[in-house]
Amino acid sequence: MSVYTGNIVFGLVTFPLIAFAITLPYMVYQYRKFGSIPWLRTLVVYSFVFYMLVAYYMVILPLPENRSAVVPYAAHPQLVPFHFVQLIADSSTASLADPSTWPGLLRNPNVYEALFNVLLLVPLGMYLRYYFRRTWWQTLLIGFATTLFYETSQITGLWGLYVHPYRLFDVDDLMLNTLGAMVGFWAVGPAMRVLPDMRLVNMEAREEGLRASVTRRALSFLVDMLASQAAAGLFASVFRMLGAQAAVEAAGGSWDAAVWGIELASLAVLFAIVPALTRGQTLGQKLLKLRIVRPDASPARWYQPAARYGLLLLFAWVPFALLSGIVGLDTDRMGEMGALAAFTARHQAGIIWIWLAFMTAWAVSLGVRAVRAAALKRPFVMLNGVLSNTRVMTVAGVEIARERRAVMDVAEVAALERRIAEDGTPLATLMERAGSAVADEVRAWVPDPSPVVVLAGSGNNGGDGWVCARSLAEAGYPVTLVAPDLAERLHAEPARTTALAAFSDAAARDLPLSVLIAPDADVLADAVDRAEAVVDALLGTGFSGDEVREPYASWIRAANRRRFEGARGKGRGRHRKRTHERGEHERPRRSLPAKAKGAPFAVAVDVPSGLAAQTGTAARPTFAADLTVTMLAFKPGLVEPAAAPWTGAVKLAKLGTDVPALRDELRRRAAGDGAGADAGA
């Protein structure tokens, strides 16, 4: 037991070194793949590294005294399966027929060894299932490969480091270690019901990663500074080898000053020339998917990155240059100084303390502003960014900001759809793509097949809902589609044709898709209570007004009730209904109530039902969404601040079309028609 404890202690001692070595690559990888670094994921990753480190120490330690040491018992591998059973039987007086002898097994070292071999890879099985999302057979293969690596390390004398094997290669270890991995795989299953789903953690990290965090920006700056210093050191070494140092010193110059000039030149290249050539990205920013832009996300001019980092260098250099000047004053020569210099020299110690207090206050204020910006999810803007009129944003954030600026009126979007149809892509195809895009988002946020309710209206927005329902059912999700009427009675096209095709396809293939036609309140509430996701495809961009008509109003209220008040408990249905009917979450307010625990993920198709796409005005009631998937272009109402509580995050689905080119064409055509009308008048 003391050997095992020693291995764990050695792991605790060496782990910080391993963690330090992998932190920078880990952060770069996380920022590139997910955009942010969630603490839970980081905790799991580092705990996994610590576990694998200690497990390997358990296998290879203690090491032999010298490289040529001979360990007799390890000279020949043990290749008899279940040999450990025979060892336990030979070394114990316990009898299966006599339960009173069983406690003696707990004192048998062979039992301890077998249990240890099982327990060694139990955590591996847990990590493989929970974090890496491996299947049982993948866990079986990985577990066997891991224990084979361990045993091979032993029989090869730590891969040739030692002349002879110093630990026994035992086929029983292969079996018991692999069994342990499978035990861990099965044991973590029930816990996964309450543990956070790592796939959702990754999705949330991607959403959070749209904003350029202070840590991400600081890391990119660190990478750039390391690259700059490495480049300057390399060039200085090359120049020295070529005799530059001797030439500089022969001319009466200072080699240190020359090296300082090389470092400044390296900084100028990395922070001014490179961003000018890469449209606003330093090497570190390119690595971490950041970009320097203007405050409205438009491309920065070629000189703005140079101004940004030149000002940063100036602000960082001036205080320390002043401090250096103050410290360098010679108090013995005050008579030769001017009045200001003499005063500074006389009060040198006090001025240094003032400088330290000022720099400390500045650093604290910088930290407070950074924390506050992170808490409020606002950009952290420094003075050099204000003066240079630049911001650092993520590449994905830049794209979204530009898309939000390129809003299209509802009428323009309708014209765009007609123009796309003229190009050979019918509206039915756009509807298929739109419904599939919404289904993809549901699958991303609800990774495992779970009940989904789709509220489908009688218009083309409802057609998107039918496609979404069929797509989810094809993926194994039990879907309940709620509609006001049968598919064949819909009037809007291509919604009617699409709904009929989706229903017929689901019936023919026996997909888990059920349809509720104008259900009563209790039936709808039961379906929503069971759901893990609710899709709103009731009203599209054509809605405007102060009140939503029935039955859509009742359906929206049922979805919102589930979101804000939770599922109806047994015997609480009427109370819940009365509370909900007071409509407290519908009253004008700066923010909506908190989302109830366990509330389903809510997705709106194109625009939340009840929200006017053109103005952003919310009717009574309005569907409250976690995510709105809007088609082709942002509508004016979706970018209004008052709409944010209803829309949640807004994602644009371009539906496989070149929207900017078609939008510009339509606007040029409209401008030409307007000019022609003015000329005719």
| CA distances for 226 relative to 229, 267, 270, 562, angstroms | 5, 10, 11, 52
Is 172 one of the annotated binding-site residues?
no
Q: What is the pLDDT of residues 14-45, one digit of tens each?
A: 999 999 999 999 999 999 999 999 899 999 99
Give me the chain's average pLDDT, please. Answer: 87
In this structure, of 204-208, 239-243, 317-321, 434-438, the range with the lowest mean pLDDT score is: 317-321
460 is in an annotated binding site: yes
Phi, psi of 597 (to 5 degrees): -65, 130
606 is in an annotated binding site: yes
From 177-186, 215-224, 231-240, 348-357, the region with the lowest mean pLDDT: 348-357
- For 424-658, CATH number? 3.40.50.10260
Predicted confidence band of residue 343 (pLDDT cuts 50, 70, 90): confident
Intervals of CATH 3.40.50.10260 along the chain: 424-658
CB 612 within 8 A of CB 544: yes
Residue type, 114: A
C-alpha span between 574 and 271 (Å, rounded): 65
Q: Which residue has the tokens 């390390």?
A: 153
What are the tens digits of pLDDT across the range 620-652?
Answer: 999 999 999 999 999 999 999 999 999 999 999
pLDDT: which is higher, 365 or 94: 365
Give the separation between CA 353 and CA 208, rounded to whole angstroms.
41
In tens, the pLDDT along 89-101 reads: 888 776 777 776 7
Residue type, 112: Y
Give per-residue pLDDT as tens, 452-490. Answer: 999 999 999 999 999 999 999 999 999 999 999 998 888
Q: Give the orientation angle of helix 136-155 with respect to helix 39-60, to 10 degrees.
A: 40
Q: How far apart are CA 285 and CA 398, in angstroms?
A: 13
User: What is the percent of the chain with per-residue pLDDT over 70, rounded to a whole number?
Assistant: 91
Are 122 and 187 within 8 A, CB to CB? yes
The Cβ of residue 219 has, within 10 Å, a number of other Cβ atoms equal to: 20
Sign of the alpha-carbon dihedral angle for 607, 609, 613, 618 = negative
Is 462 marked as binding a ligand?
A: yes
Tell me if 498 sits within 8 A of 436, measured CB to CB. Answer: no
Residue 637 CB-density burial (10 A; 0-12 exposed, 13-18 middle, 19+ buried): buried
CB 292 within 8 A of CB 285: yes
Three-state SS string across 110-142, please?
Answer: HHHHHHHHHHHCHHHHHHHHHCCCCCHHHHHHH
- From the list 168, 176, 162, the residue with the least C-alpha distance to 66 is 162
Is residue 19 a contact partner of residue 49, using CB atoms and an 8 Å limit? yes
* Helix (H/G/I), strand (E/B), else coil: 78: strand
Beta-carbon contacts of 630 under 8 Å, excluding residues fewer than 6 positions away, are 606, 607, 638, 650, 651, 652, 653
Query: 536 pLDDT exceeds 50?
Result: yes
Amino acid 128: pLDDT = 96
Contact 449, 417 (CB under 8 A): no
Instruction: Confirm whether pTM is higher than 0.85.
Output: no
The answer to whether the CB of 538 falls within 8 A of the CB of 609 is yes
Cα–Cα distance, 310 to 662 (Å, whole number): 41
Bridge partners, residue 537, by sequence: 456
User: Please, which pLDDT band fits residue 571 given cuts at 50, 70 and 90?
Assistant: very low
The 10s digit of each residue's pLDDT in 482-497 is: 999 998 888 889 999 9
Mean pLDDT of 552-575: 77
The 10s digit of each residue's pLDDT in 103-152 is: 767 777 888 889 999 999 999 999 999 999 999 999 999 999 999 999 99
Q: Which candidate, 470, 474, 481, 484, places its Cα nearest to that of 435?
A: 470
Is there a binding annotation on residue 609?
A: yes
- Read off the pLDDT of each residue in 387-396 and give the average, rounded to a whole number: 93
Distance (Å) of CA 613 to CA 407, 441, 544, 587: 11, 21, 8, 20
